[in-house]
Amino acid sequence: QITLKESGPTLVKPTQTLTLTCTFSGFSLSTSGVGVGWIRQPPGKALEWLALIYWNDDKRYSPSLKSRLTITKDTSKNQVVLTMTNMDPVDTATYYCAHRSYSSGSTWFDPWGQGTLVTVSS
Amino acid sequence: QSVLTQPPSASGTPGQRVTISCSGSSSNIGSNTVNWYQQLPGTAPKLLIYSNNQRPSGVPDRFSGSKSGTSASLAISGLQSEDEADYYCAAWDDSLNGLYVFGTGTKVTVL
């Protein structure tokens, strides 16, 4: 059974850097094809994909946020870390991590963590 | 920020069939498979359909997906009260260095 759980601060100040950790179980990020992604959802708004890291350390970022995002993995700890610099109130959202599933070149996210609400306010 | 376009809302009475559309472009839906996620109120999204029309284990066969060209659709037949939720389409997009894109979301209401 695959599970993921996000952790990090619930409140950050504008201009600060956000660091979120995704701790997972039930799979290994050293297994070929495996990946972990981050997705966020502002209150009352749609889902927005942020980043994806693959088993081979290849990384993909949302073009609109690429300059502010860094995704890393610690295979030994079964963790993926997302950092986002220069936080702004518009970054207030629930942040989810999710397991990347795939087949024949297709990618989807399943399952997802429960999410963590991050509020940006002074 | 959403690249895929969905109607903001859809509704039906119990037992009816509801269809949600998802419009994209050649770099996403036109080139890659479509996934659908269901988000019940106050919960994390859950995978509903993957690879255009495949249902994960445990998803009722009332839910079905299809794709044609640069558009996709999700159908819910025999609508039930527990289907009231937000639904998002998603796909990989081959533009730039590759990214995953979500739809604008559709709120399904059971009347």
pLDDT in tens, B72-85: 999 999 999 999 99
* pLDDT for res B20: 98
What's the pLDDT at B1?
62
- Judging contacts by C-beta atoms under 8 Å, the chain A residues touching residue B46 are 110-112
Kindly give the parts of chain B with pLDDT less than 70: 1
Residues of A in contact with B96 (CB under 8 A): 63
Q: Is A43 buried (19+), middle (13-18) or exposed (0-12) by CB count in 10 A? A: exposed
Alpha-carbon distance A64 to A24, whole Å? 27
**Does the beta-carbon distance from B33 to A106 stay under 8 Å?**
yes
Of A61, A103, A115, the CB nearest to B44: A115
Q: Do residues B83 and B72 touch, judged by C-beta distance below 8 A? A: no
Put simply, the answer to whether B102 touches A108 (Cβ < 8 Å) is no
* Among A37, A21, A40, CA closest to A119: A40
The CA distance from B107 to B96, in Å, is 30
B57 — contact with chain A (CB < 8 Å)? Answer: no
pLDDT per position as a tens digit, A66-120 = 999 999 999 999 999 999 999 999 999 999 999 999 988 899 999 999 999 999 9
